[in-house]
Amino acid sequence: MEVFEPLYSNLWKFILSINKDRDAAKDILSETILIAYEKFETLKNERAFLSFLFTIASRLNNAVRKSKTRFEFKESHLLDDFRINALNPEESTDIGIMYGLLEQIPEKQKESLMLHEVFGFSRNEIAAMQNTNLTNVKIRLYRGRKALEKLLKAGQYE
């Protein structure tokens, strides 16, 4: 738990970014913690614990997504959970727009962008988390950025 406590906030934010249903996100969080606790002895390096947690959460979310229908995005919940300090209205609007746009791109591209741009994972770490190769991660990041750029230019963020 000493290793987990400082990472809790980032894990919760990541889970919410990939699954907008708060109840399902709570289930994924609980299951992630349980699996991480049970498999902790298999971890060779404590510095890789955050990556370990994100990998578990990502795989659980994929399993949930395949077994259930998609839930409606609730921007107000997302903004409340991602607020660290009080944001001014312009920043809140920008965050809402960005997450609204992210909902319009393919799931793997969104997940890759969140892991890389928001949480700062390297492309190699993302490849391990997504159980794919580095080339696929690079392609997802490129296509995700291009898709966001296209949506922004088209003004599809209202």
Least confident segment among 21-25, 41-45, 72-76, 99-103: 72-76
Q: Mean pLDDT over residues 152-157, rounded? A: 76
For residue 30, what are the contacts with CB-CB under 8 A and spacing of at least 6? none
pTM for this prediction:
0.57
Could you read off the pLDDT of 35-89 as tens digits, one per residue?
888 888 887 777 788 888 888 888 888 877 766 544 444 444 444 555 445 566 7
For residue 95 the two structure tokens come to: 């965050």
Report d(CA 15, CA 53) in Å as an integer: 10
Q: Mean pLDDT over residues 138-143, rounded? A: 95
Q: Which of 50, 55, 94, 53 lies closest to 75 in space, CA to CA?
A: 94
* Residue 140 vs residues 56, 70, 82, 114: alpha-carbon distances, Å: 20, 21, 24, 11
Given this model, what pLDDT does residue 142 score?
95
The residue among 140 and 80 whose pLDDT is bigger is 140
The fold of 5-154 is Arc Repressor Mutant, subunit A (1.10.10)
Report d(CA 80, CA 82) in Å as an integer: 6
- Looking from the CA of 80 toward its CB, the CA atoms found within 13 Å total 6
The residue among 68 and 104 whose pLDDT is bigger is 104
Where do we find the tokens 């988390």? 129
Residue 11 has pLDDT above 60, yes or no: yes
Given this model, what pLDDT does residue 158 score?
54
Beta-carbon count within 10 A of 70 CB: 11
Could you read off the pLDDT of 107-139 as tens digits, one per residue?
889 989 988 888 888 999 899 888 899 999 999
Where do we find the tokens 């947690």? 53
Q: Quote the Cα angle for 85-87-89, to 5°.
A: 165
Residue 146 has pLDDT above 80, yes or no: yes
